[in-house]
Every structure is written in C-alpha cells, then in structure tokens.
Structure 1
C-alpha cells in the first residue's frame, strides 16, 4: 500500500520523510527514536501492509509533532508525541481511526 496523506483539520498527516526537502529525524529523536534507518523501516511497513504510520505535522511549516501508527490487522492505533504536542497526537489518532474504518472495513 502506498502511504496516504490525511487532513485532520488543524494538522495534516503524512508518511515519515528524510530527504532533501523534509527531515523528520530530529522530531523522531525527540520521540526517543534513534535508529538511522527508521524512516526506511516505516516505509517498508507501509509497502508490506504490516503497519501504517503517519507524521502528524503543523500545516504551515510541515514540522513533525507526533507519530500515529495503525496495525491494519488488529485496528490498533498508537501515538507518541513531542513534549507539548499531545493534542496533535490525539487529533491524528482520531483521523487515523476514520481512515481505518473506511479503508479496512471488516
């Protein structure tokens, strides 16, 4: 499955990135993620449909504030946020729940 962008009102959700335009690795480091290959790891999970993940971003800057994951098999959603951005994670989780209900109907 290709990563899907989601509009969550005050936030937008997109696949994690580490390229010449956007680098989520500093935000991931604030979440405690130190693996240098983590963005590629998440991309492989999307491709295999084993886990869907999103960076919850501030829409004007694209800054990553939180990460939301969805296990398509169980429907389980998990979040983690940078300090002070718990609201972005909660809003992202609600948007991912709506996505999951529409895409992964059981």
Structure 2
C-alpha cells in the first residue's frame, strides 16, 4: 500500500510503506519524534496500535477511522 500522510491536529501520522496494510508512525508534530504506530488492515477492517502514549493513539485511531470511512469506504470494527 502506498503511504498516506494524515494531519491529526495535535499529532502527525507519517505514512509507512506496507504490502498488505496501511501503516502510520504517530509523530510529535514539532520534533517529528515517533511515539506510536497504528496499522489498518483493509481486508479485515481492523486497527492495531503499538506505543505508550495513549492520547496519541486515541487521536491517531480516530483519524485513521475517518480516513478508512471517507477514502476507502471501510467501517473499522471496534
């Protein structure tokens, strides 16, 4: 899948190349430091997240759900 960048306001989601999924590094917008990673599997409509910053993950997951719905026509399972 081609990387897709998402500006989630307080966090920046930098797209990362993946063969079968959409993957983002969740970054602090000023320094670019990676604080988490979020992955969307479009075949199963599921999200997975890794990282210690729960606020960043919550914001990123919300943004990825919006991307999935608007750009891909996918409703992500809870």
TM value normalised by structure 2: 0.86
Alignment length (residue pairs): 74
Moved over 4 A (4+): none
Q: Pairwise mapping of residues 64-103 of structure 1 onto structure 2 (< 5 A)?
A: 64-81=34-51, 83=52, 85-103=53-71
Q: Unpaired runs of 5+ in structure 2?
A: none
In the alignment, structure 1 segments of 5+ residues that lack a partner are 17-42
- TM-score, scaled relative to structure 1: 0.65
What is the Cα-based RMSD across aligned positions, in Å?
1.3
Higher helix residue share? 1
> Greater Rg, structure 1 or structure 2?
1
The residue aligned with 1:11 is: 11
Query: Conserved in 1, the CA contact under 8 Å of 2:12 and 2:27?
Result: yes
Identify, as 1 or 2, the structure richer in strand. 2
Q: Aligned partners of 1:93, 1:57: CA distance in 2, in Å? A: 13
Secondary structure at the residue paired with 2:31?
Answer: coil
Structure 2 SS opposite 1:10: coil
